[in-house]
Chain A
């Protein structure tokens, strides 16, 4: 079974631009979560989608948004990029939501650099 895939793997953007990252979960997984990883803040939860609905949201500004499609694929968008948005963005999929005992499986991440 194929793992979680994320595209693109690397991205360089200029401050003020917007960016869209894509994630395809493991087949059969309906929950997709997004995390931001930086050296200073570590791994931080952004949001989770299940059945095209946002189930949970972390403490990030409204510039960070996401959506999920009927095939469970998910995208996250960051508008008006700031230098501090430079990070590794990780997508994780899980069998279900509201089932906290299930582990999440992570993709390789998208490395975003904002200049």
Chain B
């Protein structure tokens, strides 16, 4: 069965420092991977996705993610964190063989806290 793991419930980083939010997945074959961010009392906002091609994917707000097939990981990164990046981050996976629809399997989420 497909699954996504976000091993850290919370990540704390100082403003200006690089940040990493970790994600590992379990899917047979090549997965489709997504990162979303959720601000308080808001829906999820799409950040970036990996479908195929370059392992380093660039997305919105300066975020990027690196797909590593051997480690089955898709970590979210940003070179310099901002206080406004503080939010709840979700990694999600979709099995490309699933032709029935577009359901996303989400990780539990990681709270990112950026201090000034």
Which A residues fall within an 8 A CB radius of B? 4, 6, 31, 33, 35, 42-45, 48, 50, 55-56, 58, 90, 92, 94, 96-109
A-B contact pairs, 14 of them (CB 8 A): A42-B106, A42-B107, A43-B90, A43-B104, A44-B106, A55-B102, A56-B98, A56-B101, A90-B44, A100-B94, A103-B46, A104-B102, A104-B104, A107-B43
Q: Mark B44-85, 1 if CB is under 8 A from A, else 0.
A: 111001010000000000000000000000000000000000
Closest 4 CB pairs of A and B: A56-B101, A106-B43, A43-B106, A55-B101
Which B residues fall within an 8 A CB radius of A? 32, 34, 36, 41-46, 49, 51, 90, 94-96, 98-109
Bound CA–CA A33/B34 (angstroms):
16
Question: Chain A CB within 10 Å — which of B41, B43, B95, B107 has the most?
Answer: B43
Interchain CB contact under 8 A, A104 and B46: yes
Residue of A nearest to B46 (CB): A103
Bound CA–CA A96/B101 (angstroms):
9
Count, A-B residue pairs, CB within 8 A: 77
State whether A42 and B109 are in contact (beta carbons under 8 Å apart), knowing that A33-B103, A101-B96 are contacts in the complex: yes
| Contact partners of A97 in chain B: CB under 8 A | 101-102
Bound CA–CA A92/B44 (angstroms):
9
Interchain CB contact under 8 A, A58 and B103: yes
| Contact partners of A6 in chain B: CB under 8 A | 43
Question: Chain B CB within 10 Å — which of A44, A55, A90, A103 has the most?
Answer: A103
Interchain CB contact under 8 A, B43 and A4: yes
Bound CA–CA A52/B94 (angstroms):
22
| Contact partners of A105 in chain B: CB under 8 A | 46
| Contact partners of B105 in chain A: CB under 8 A | 45
Q: How far in angstroms is the closest Cβ of chain A from B1?
A: 11
Interchain CB contact under 8 A, B103 and A103: no
